[in-house]
Chain A
Amino acid sequence: SSELTQDPAVSVALGQTVRITCQGDSLRSYYASWYQQKPGQAPVLVIYGKNNRPSGIPDRFSGSSSGNTASLTITGAQAEDEADYYCNSRDSSGNRDWVFGGGTKLTVL
C-alpha cells in the first residue's frame, strides 16, 4: 500500500505562518485531507478536497498541493492550534484503501 510521509515535529511563533507538508505517490492522484488532533480528543477535519474548510474551521487554515506533496498552511498561528496534524488520502497502489501520514506535532511558541 501507499505511504504518506510527514515531518514528526514543527514549531511556529505565535502569530506567524507555518506550513505542514505530506509527501506520497498517492497525492499525484488524490487530494489530501487534513485532521487536527488535540490530546485525549478525537481527530477533527480541517481541510478536504482541493482547499475546502468544514463549517466552523477558521480561515487561517488552508490547503494546497503540487506533484506528490500536499501542504496545510496556518496563517497567523494561535496558541489553540498546538496539536497533532495528520494527512490522509486514498491509496493509489491498486488497493481500495485509505492511508494516513505519521502525523506532525505542531508547537506554537
Chain B
Amino acid sequence: QVQLVESGGGVVQPGGSLRLSCAASGFTFSSYGMHWVRQAPGKGLEWVAFIRYDGSNKYYADSVKGRFTISRDNSKNTLYLQMNSLRAEDTAVYYCAKDMSGSGGSCPDYWGQGTLVTVSS
C-alpha cells in the first residue's frame, strides 16, 4: 500500500531554514510526480510545489517562489522541501502527496500525515 512519511518539521526562528523529507513506499516512486501542500492552523489547504517524476520540471506557488526548493532522490525514494528565509506565515502542517501521473497533468491522490513547521521567535 502507498505510504508517505514526512519528517523534519519543528520550530524555527524567522529568517531561518528547514529541510523537510518525505519517505515513499508501496509504489514506483520514480514514475510519479510529487507535491508539497501546506495547511496553516485552522485554515484551508494551500498548494506549495510540484516536481515531475524525473525532477526535470518544478513549479512553485508565488508565496514561496525564490525561498523554497523542491527536490527528489529517486534512488532513495525520498522527496524534499528546502525552506529558506522562513516567515511567520509559513507556519503550517506540510503534507507531501503523490500525483496520479508522472508529469503533473493530474491531481494528488495519496497524502502523508504531515509534519508541523512553526516559525516563531
Contact = CB atoms under 8 A, between A and B. Distances in A.
Interface string A40-60: 011111001000001000000
A86 B111 CA distance: 14
Contacts of A97: 47, 50, 59-61
Nearest to A103: B44
Contacts of A43: 37, 45, 95, 111
Nearest to B62: A1
A33 B105 CA distance: 12
A35 to B, nearest CB: 7
B11 interface: no
Nearest to A96: B59
A98 B44 contact: no
Nearest to A104: B44
Contact of A45 (B59, B61, B108): B108
Contacts of A42: 95, 111-114
B35 interface: yes
A99 interface: yes
Contacts of A61: none
B47 A100 contact: yes
B95 A98 contact: no
Given A45-B109, A101-B44, 14 more contacts: A41-B113, A42-B111, A42-B113, A43-B37, A43-B45, A45-B108, A45-B110, A48-B109, A88-B108, A89-B107, A97-B50, A99-B47, A100-B44, A100-B47
Interface of B: 35, 37, 44-47, 50, 57, 59-62, 95, 100, 104, 106-114
30 contacts: A1-B61, A35-B45, A42-B111, A42-B112, A42-B113, A42-B114, A43-B45, A44-B111, A45-B108, A45-B109, A45-B110, A48-B100, A48-B107, A54-B109, A84-B44, A86-B45, A88-B47, A89-B107, A96-B50, A96-B57, A96-B104, A97-B50, A97-B59, A98-B35, A98-B47, A98-B107, A98-B108, A100-B37, A103-B44, A103-B45
Interface of A: 1, 33, 35, 37, 41-45, 48, 54, 84, 86, 88-89, 95-103
